[in-house]
Copies of this chain bind each other. A is one copy, B any other.
Amino acid sequence: MRRRAVIALGGNALIKEGQKGTIYEQFANTREIAKSIVEIIRDGWDVVITHGNGPQVGSILLQNDIAKDVTPAMPLGICVAESEGLIGYMVQQCLSNALKKANIDRPVVALITQVLVDRNDPSLTHPTKPIGPFYKEEEAMKLLKEGYHLTRQPKGWRMVVPSPDPKTIVEADIIRKMLDDNIIVIASGGGGMPVIEKEDWGLDGLEAVIDKDLAAERLAESIDAELLLILTNVEKVYLNYNTPQQKSLDAVSIKDLKEYYMQGHFPAGSMGPKVLASLRFLEHGGQKVVISSVEKGYEALEGKTGTHIHK
């Protein structure tokens, strides 16, 4: 069996800071990323690629909101599915082109992916994840009365939604078969669409979002991946990040990392879920986690940079 890896691309990989998010920017960024994924595949890795969708789903939610009096607004789960189509198409086309250019004959395809969560997940009754457009005071009050959860942020009010813990990737069996068939799979984009299992009904979607790194970890477990490569906007994981005591982690054991995690070095909105995903993966059969920037992904895998987490 060839070596399997899950590559998790940060949401900011496709729309960089300062960019507006036009399709030309997104395709140009995707083509750059595709080049380094090709190097990873050339090195003998069978990969499943997953990606964030923050800016894209934010834009889709905004479009739905602005146009809601003219055409019915779609709920969050559906917007996530739309973003899987959008981003999946870009990654599929750019990676496929880059592989052909490198004379590597491997098919690539993006799958619509559902992620099962526990129907009793505490986050479902206590939503905390801010998403979508900013609202003015008046509109926010109206939404609050309608039963939505909102939070006040410096730029205005925003909806908050549950971010339940992913349990399993619904399409995991399919993905495993596709890997056996030598297919490169893009899956669980934007964390996948959260679903619960209802008796006498089956799967049902939720108004929630799943952290894409925690979903990537479940994906990696389910395909017996050896490696989880998390690519984000920093080159390494840091202790005391953004303080005078900031210190990068080059190689770290699961034991030490767990200690740092418990000490509160990694905030919930950024490095926290990535570190939690790393710890889970290594405790559930994974061999290695590498965290680095999108730009340095291949160099990190070669051991030249990044944070390397081992058992």
Question: Could you tell me if B171 and A109 are in contact, using CB atoms closer than 8 angstroms?
Answer: yes
Question: Could you tell me if B110 and A111 are in contact, using CB atoms closer than 8 angstroms?
Answer: yes
Which residue of chain B is the closest to A74 with respect to CB atoms? B23
Alpha-carbon separation in the docked complex, A202 to B93 (Å): 9
Alpha-carbon separation in the docked complex, A210 to B203 (Å): 32
Q: How far is the CB of A65 from chain B (nearest CB, A)?
A: 8
A:13-57 near B, CB below 8 Å: 20-23
| Stretch of A174-182, A242-250, A274-282 lying at the B interface | A174-182
| Stretch of A76-84, A153-161, A256-264, A303-311 lying at the B interface | A76-84
Question: Could you tell me if A202 and B100 are in contact, using CB atoms closer than 8 angstroms?
Answer: yes
Question: Could you tell me if A62 and B72 are in contact, using CB atoms closer than 8 angstroms?
Answer: no
Q: Is A1 an interface residue (CB 8 A)?
A: no
* A residues at B contact (CB < 8 Å): 20-23, 59-60, 62-64, 66-67, 70-72, 74-75, 77-78, 81-86, 88-89, 92-93, 96-98, 100-101, 107, 109-112, 114, 170-171, 173-174, 177-178, 181, 183, 186, 193, 195, 201-203, 205
Q: How far is the CB of A186 from chain B (nearest CB, A)?
A: 8
Question: Could you tell me if A112 and B88 are in contact, using CB atoms closer than 8 angstroms?
Answer: yes
Number of copies: 2
Which chain B residues lie closer than 8 Å to A98 at the CB level?
A: 202
Question: Could you tell me if A78 and B86 are in contact, using CB atoms closer than 8 angstroms?
Answer: yes
List 10 extra interface pairs beyond A60-B82, A85-B85, A85-B86, CB under 8 A.
A23-B74, A63-B64, A82-B83, A82-B85, A89-B112, A93-B202, A100-B202, A107-B174, A109-B171, A174-B178
Which chain B residues lie closer than 8 Å to A203 at the CB level?
A: 93, 96-97
Alpha-carbon separation in the docked complex, A42 to B177 (Å): 23
Contact for A177 among B64, B67, B86, B181, CB less than 8 A = B181
Alpha-carbon separation in the docked complex, A202 to B77 (Å): 33
Which chain B residues lie closer than 8 Å to A66 at the CB level?
A: 63, 66-67, 70
Which chain B residues lie closer than 8 Å to A96 at the CB level?
A: 170, 202-203
Question: Could you tell me if A63 and B67 are in contact, using CB atoms closer than 8 angstroms?
Answer: yes
Alpha-carbon separation in the docked complex, A276 to B83 (Å): 33
Alpha-carbon separation in the docked complex, A72 to B56 (Å): 10
Across the A-B interface, the 4 shortest Cβ-Cβ residue pairs = A85-B85, A97-B202, A81-B89, A63-B63
Contact for A178 among B23, B62, B112, B178, CB less than 8 A = B178
Alpha-carbon separation in the docked complex, A111 to B107 (Å): 13
Which chain B residues lie closer than 8 Å to A64 at the CB level?
A: 63
Question: Could you tell me if A71 and B59 are in contact, using CB atoms closer than 8 angstroms?
Answer: yes
Contact for A63 among B71, B112, B178, B193, CB less than 8 A = B71
Alpha-carbon separation in the docked complex, A112 to B87 (Å): 10
Alpha-carbon separation in the docked complex, A230 to B242 (Å): 60
Which residue of chain B is the closest to A201 with respect to CB atoms? B97
Contact for A109 among B107, B111, B183, B193, CB less than 8 A = B111
